[in-house]
Structure 1
Amino acid sequence: MEKRARISRAERHAQTREELLDAARTVFAKHGYGGASIDRIAAQAGYSKGAIYSNFESKEAIMLALLERYADDEIAEFNRIMQLDPTTLKTQLKDRLDTLNADLDWDIMTMELQLHAQRNPAFAERFFAHETRLTEFHAGIIAERFAGENKAPPSTH
């Protein structure tokens, strides 16, 4: 008889947090920020409100965590692609760019984040910090590629 490995409390907490974020993403995309509630997110995830509050201080904190997770995933994926040989890199980068906006739920979430940022200056500051992080990351990749080819990026003027 095979024994199941027990997961640690920290691993279980991380797993619960990810499940809550997945549920929140679905709820925010379906109901918008205003229509999403802690109760709906908890029900979608199959957890109590207490599980949400032990992981996040507010609905807004969940949105920011979703944005951070998206940025982390995006950076990791682009870093993975940039390590490939030139032929594979070109194909994978093209495929990635072709599918970048294929996730309708994330597109809706992005609109919700932007709308909420327009209405809430404190949230806007944190939201735009994440946006800046992604923009600077992508700009760095482009600059690296041009530098690797000993070329200057095209001028925007």
Structure 2
Amino acid sequence: MQTRKDLMDAARRIFARDGFEVARLQDIAAEAGKTRGALYTHFADKEDLFFALFEEYIAQDSDIYFRTIDIGASFEDRIAQIIVQFERILRDRNRMLLFIEFKMYAVRHPHATKRLADLHAGMCVRGATHKLRVFPEFLLRDMKQQRRAFAIFAATLDGLALQHYFDPLGLPKVELHRKLEEVIREQVKLVAEYNAMV
């Protein structure tokens, strides 16, 4: 529906301008040229709006993975292709900062932390399901371990992105590329070792 799309586009702009915690729903509605009532017809609150954006990013990523990564390619070719995709995500400054800010918001609001972390993890697992079809080497047999593995990987990406934005001379693109490859290979190695033990 067009109204929902307009609100989500406006939310992206307002979140990028003001940050997640400071952004106000009335400003998002005004930016979209809609009423607050229209916003509440589609979203329960600001957190709900964030998750709608997150789901949209996951859908876009999944589409890109399927269009650009050849499932039948060699492991090395898939490594190279997925690094390109992660670099694309890390270059999307607004997206990365929104995700990092949202996590900071959850940490600052302990009453909501577990619910938001569980929702976030559930959406990450859903999104990762698409990646696992391209990279079965990332698949752990135990779902709790799978969540932990994804959490560690996400934390690494967040840290790399934040440090690169903060100090691009200290963490230039070439080093970012090298570190991404190192992290991906280490993740595959840990998964293989864990699966061999169970």
Q: Tell me the TM-score normalized by structure 1.
A: 0.72
- Aligned residues with identical type, % of pairs: 26
CA 98–44 in structure 1, closer or farther in 2 if over 3 Å, else same: same
Match of 1:155 in 2: 189
- The one-character-per-residue Cα deviations of 1:67-93 (angstroms, maximum 9, x if unpaired) are 11111111111111135996xx87865
Gaps of at least 5 residues in structure 1 are: 1-13, 145-152
* Residue among 12, 15, 35 paired with 1:25: 12
Taking the aligned partners of 1:16 and 1:84, their CA distance within structure 2 comes to 37
Quote the offset at 1:59 in angstroms.
1.3
Does 1:16 find its partner at 2:3? yes
Does 1:60 find its partner at 2:47? yes
- The one-character-per-residue Cα deviations of 1:100-135 (angstroms, maximum 9, x if unpaired) are 211111011111222233332222211111122233
Quote the offset at 1:20 in angstroms.
0.4
Match runs of 1:3-152 below 5 Å:
14-82=1-69, 95-118=84-107, 119=109, 120=112, 121-143=114-136
Taking the aligned partners of 2:60 and 2:130, their CA distance within structure 1 comes to 12
Instruction: Number of aligned residue pairs: give it.
Output: 136
Which protein shows a greater Rg?
Answer: 1
Q: Tell me the TM-score normalized by structure 2.
A: 0.59
Gaps of at least 5 residues in structure 2 are: 138-186, 194-198
Secondary structure of the equivalent of 1:34? coil
Q: When you count helix as a share of all residues, which structure comes out higher?
A: 2
| Paired residue type of 1:96 | Q
